[in-house]
Structure 1
Amino acid sequence: MAYNEAMVVVVTGGSGLVGQAIQTVVEQSRNVNERWIFLSSKNADLKSASETCAVFEKYKPTHVIHLAAMVGGLYRNMKYNCDFLRFNQLINDNVLEACKKMKVKKVVSCLSTCIFPDKTPYPIDETMVHNGPPHHSNFGYSMAKRMIDVMNHAYHEQYGCNFTSVIPTNVYGPHDNFNLEDGHVLPGLIHKVYMAKQNGTPFTIWGTGKPLRQFVYSMDLAKLMIWVLHEYNEINPIILSVDEQDEVSIREAAEMVVEAFDFKGDVVYDTTKADGQFKKTACNVKLRTYLPDFQFTPIRQGIKETVDWFIENYESARK
């Protein structure tokens, strides 16, 4: 396939949940005018400045989607806050500096709603990122991600770089990390129901099930991030989220997973486990101003597709 070398897009963290989704969408679009390279840790250790520069010199990107990060669920964050802070700061500093040196035309970095202040009015929007400290449970990861926004503005003001960022709500979908201890809530629930059904044991949910979340399907997020790469021209971040009325409780999400598996066993809530932040309701008015008619995948459909993918790919799935 012939490519127009004028646009070369490097995706860091390309083997992860969002990277795989972007790759799927790119392959479906068959745009021969763009060359896409999806990097993983096998290509370079982005905590190393020299390895980061080397891989950028090799591929010479004109555009970058920066997804690479040390990530984990609530309990891993609570245990390793310092590692999450240090390692993510190293990765972000190395990637953005390499982009500046290579004169990359545009960088889109992926943040998280956990960067927002713990004590804040709801819904949260893009103007509120730096209004107070994040929740103590994952302050290391949150502050490292929050600093990307600061760096984007600093690089723009001093060097004229076109660096921006997106803030998705809870992402889920095929190719997620389904680890029972370290994964995020929805893939963790999916793996737990799978094991409970296989073993004939109860399905145990950590916490009360009361916290509220907005879940965005990875394929939807991929389409939106590609749109941001091509069309969004602000340095300030943009929240990529389903609408506020689509927020669901962990209990409701768990019930959808049970339904998708047709699980008939007992469901138990272990209330000795922490719930984490009760809510992180995000406002997507800015996104809707740009894309008023964007159709998100209904969560029940997205969960069913993710469950089906997990069952089919159980042996090779990250878990």
Structure 2
Amino acid sequence: MNKNSRIYVAGHRGLVGSAILNKLHEKGYTNLVYKTSAELDLKNSNQVYDFFENENIEYVFLAAAKVGGIVANNDYPADFIRDNILIQTNVIDAAYKNNVKKLLFLGSTCIYPKLAKQPLKEEYLLTGELEPTNEAYAIAKIAGIKMCESYNRQYGTNFISAMPTNLYGPNDNFDLETSHVLPALIRKFHEAKVSGKDQVELWGTGSPKREFLHTDDLSDACIFLMENYSDNEIVNIGIGEDIAIKDLAAKIRQIVSFDGEIVYDTSKPDGTPRKLVDVTKINELGWHAKTSLDEGLEETYKWFKDNIEAVKM
């Protein structure tokens, strides 16, 4: 992949895609292609095939997906499995049929069994039952991984799959009904502070542990893998450290300067007890995360405040 390669970033407006697009610009890649969902519906196979036939795409970052937090995944499983399978099937097959040189498929660490050993090694895939609340999304992502592997085996393509841990950063989804835990906490504490509330209620017990990767690090890792990795095995992307949700909430409360109490609604689900990825493989390849959680939280909260009207829409 050189600076003039024709590179398509699918999902360029999302949390992951926007970070990849920005990082490509930053690294000097100049021949970038991206379309809004209004311009190109990735769930529509005819539109996708026509797009690939006309654009002469050489490299693809497949970051487009229907995503959401525990509530959205639990409430809309049909939407999550249908939309994601349609998107990735259309893009992967069109990439093959139009001789794309390389494709990076972005999965998720929710593909791993709910009670797998920690940290999560790549070989733990399909060794146990999934977390029920996001099973539909996880199965869709596993299908994408296996589709890439199968096309490589049958057609000799160069399609790789990366599994990022929990992500956060600019352009995140801060909607309280559909967001992931970290942006939801930022918004809850901020709005509680602004409205003068004396407490913030959080779901679950606060005991589950999660690992959080800033999108600036993720985008750097994705470009690194596109330039340096070609194998059928999946690759984890993370920082190799996790934090309890209650400790994350305490950090965000401090950053937001909220003085009230944190109350936990233990009638609500916790989800997977722990989800820490083993990053030995990508570290041995030569890539390491650089953004600390404290630094990333400060930056993300600043972005939220600077864009608060837009993220509320």
For this structure pair, what is the TM-score category when the shorter chain's length is used for normalisation? over 0.9
One-letter identity of the residue aligned with 1:226: I
**Residue 134 (structure 1) aligns with:** 130
Q: Residue 268 of structure 1: CA displacement?
A: 1.6
1:291 is matched with which residue?
286
Verify the 8 A CA contact 2:15 2:169 in the aligned structure 1. yes
Q: 1:175-194 counterparts in 2 under 5 A?
A: 175-194=171-190
Between the aligned partners of 1:93 and 1:212, the Cα distance in structure 2 is 32
Rounded to whole Å, the distance in 2 between the matches of 1:159 and 1:99 is 12
Matched, 1:272 2:270: no
Tell me, yes or no, if the aligned pair for 2:7 and 2:33 is still in contact at 8 Å: yes
The one-letter code sitting in structure 2 at the alignment partner of 1:305 is E
C-alpha contact 2:109 2:164 (8 A) present in aligned 1 = yes
For each residue in 1:76-102, what CA deviation from the matched residue of structure 2 results, as whole angstroms up to 9, or x when unmatched?
111111221111111111110100111
- Alpha-carbon distance, 1:247 to partner: 0.7
Q: CA deviation at 1:295?
A: 4.1
Compute the displacement of 1:42 (Å): 2.2
- Tell me which of 208, 211, 214 is aligned to 1:211: 208
5+ residue gaps, structure 1, are: none
- Output the CA distance in 2 between the equivalents of 1:275 and 1:226: 33
Partners of 2:249 and 2:34 lie apart in 1 by: 32
**What is the TM-score with the length of structure 2 in the denominator?**
0.95
Once the two structures are TM-superposed, the CA of residue 22 in structure 1 deviates from its matched residue by 1.6
Moved more, 61-70 or 129-138: 129-138
Q: Compute the RMSD of aligned alpha carbons.
A: 1.5
Q: Deviations for 1:236-275, whole angstroms, at most 9, x for unmatched residues? A: 11000102xx210111111111111111122221212111
Q: CA deviation at 1:133?
A: 2.7
The list of structure 1 runs, each at least 4 consecutive aligned residues, that deviate by more than 4 angstroms after superposition, is none
Confirm or deny that 1:98 pairs with 2:94. yes
TM superposition shift of 1:26: 2.1
- Give the whole-Å Cα distance in 1 for the aligned partners of 2:28 and 2:93: 31
2:245 matched to 1:250? yes
Match of 2:166 among 167, 170, 193: 170
SS of structure 2 residue aligned to 1:130: coil
* Counterpart AA for 1:191: R
Kindly indicate whether the alpha-carbon contact (under 8 Å) linking 1:19 and 1:38 is maintained by their aligned counterparts in 2.
no
The equivalences for 1:1-319 within 5 A come to 5=4, 7-31=5-29, 34-201=30-197, 202-243=199-240, 246-291=241-286, 294-317=288-311
Aligned to 1:177, the other structure's residue is in SS state coil
Query: Does the Cα contact within 8 Å between 2:193 and 2:257 map onto a contact in 1?
Result: no
Aligned with 1:78: secondary structure?
helix
Q: CA deviation at 1:59?
A: 2.2
Moved more, 62-71 or 52-61: 52-61
- Gaps of at least 5 residues in structure 2 are none
Distance in 1 (alpha carbons) for counterparts of 2:235 and 2:290: 16
Alpha-carbon contact 2:103-2:158 (below 8 Å) kept: yes
